[in-house]
Amino acid sequence: MSLNEAQRAEIDQLKAQTSQTRRVTVPALEEILYDPLPVLDHGFVRVIDYMGDDAAIVQAARVSYGKGTKQVRQDAGLIRYLMRHWHTTPFEMCEIKYHIKLPIFVARQWIRHRTANVNEYSARYSILDREFYLPAPQHLAVQSKANRQGRGDALEGDEAARVLDLLRQDAERNYAHYTEMMNEGADGEPLDTGREGLARELARMNLTLNTYTQWYWKCDLHNLLHFLRLRADDHAQYEIRAFADVMLDTVQRWTPAAYQAFVDYRLGSAEISAQGMDVIKRLLAGEAVTAETAGMSPREWRELMALLGREG
């Protein structure tokens, strides 16, 4: 992880100031407010601001449900009820804003989640840092034969070293050409070649997708949890999952009751179809159900058996 001097100065200034407020604050999240939490080799996640807490979720729910919820003894119980039954609106009452530094190829995957407010570093206006994501050797893997979106076995030895060298060389060469075309160094100063430089908005197209970018990303808790449900999952690409795992830790600090309900009812759960429920009921009744008699596709059958820890 790396920060430039301006960012370090900004963080020091923000952490030095204190404000009196009547708003609810969360001490566990205040502890890490503004701090860069390392991700990958040069990336980070920073919590910049937030609104609400577990109590805000409960407050919103009780406005909607009225006196009927007085039977719920604890706020955590109500939050678990809301999560269990997919009552999502109360979770939208909480919001959080992050500053994130991430490789461009991760950002392009991330932006598919269209439920946040995003403002990205402008490479039309400014010069991108000379920083590139290079995977650790254990994360270099061949294409999976079973999953077109996934990885198979890890590369080893000379082959892994060769791939890392290619990634590094391509990134370094393209960045050098980027600054040469603009006739500007990374500090924005002219390279003193006596010629006009190419516009930044054009020169940037030569950069590799492992170049780092940055953005501010603001989202309500409901949509953040939806993002994390997909991106903190074991099947997600490692690089975006690394960011999701760090963000999941910030949610645990911010709204611990909602976090636990999310882990129990989303991350640690599974969706089962009507046909799957029928198979489970038949199995519990002692019936010998097979793939041929289940009324499911072979893939659905295999997935259900894997969930139940049974042989397919």
Q: Catalytic residue numbers?
A: 231
Tokens at residue 288, please? 């010998």
Backbone angles phi, psi at 198, to 5 degrees: -65, 145
* CA 311 from centroid of its chain's CA atoms: 34
E strands within 23-122?
A: 37-39, 43-51, 95-103, 117-120
Residue appearing with tokens 């049974």? 310
- Sequence-separated (6 or more) residues with CB below 8 Å from residue 188: 126, 127
| Dihedral over Cα of 240, 246, 248, 254: its sign | negative
CA 113, CA 100: separation in Å to the nearest integer?
15
In 3D space, the residue among 295, 266, 258 whose CA is nearest the CA of residue 79 turns out to be 258
Q: What is the identity of the amino acid at 146?
A: A
CA 113, CA 223: separation in Å to the nearest integer?
9
Are 50 and 97 within 8 A, CB to CB? yes
Tokens at residue 263, please? 């882990």
In 3D space, the residue among 50, 55, 57 whose CA is nearest the CA of residue 83 turns out to be 57
Q: Under DSSP, is residue 59 helix (H, G, I), strand (E, B) or coil? A: helix
* CA 154 from centroid of its chain's CA atoms: 23
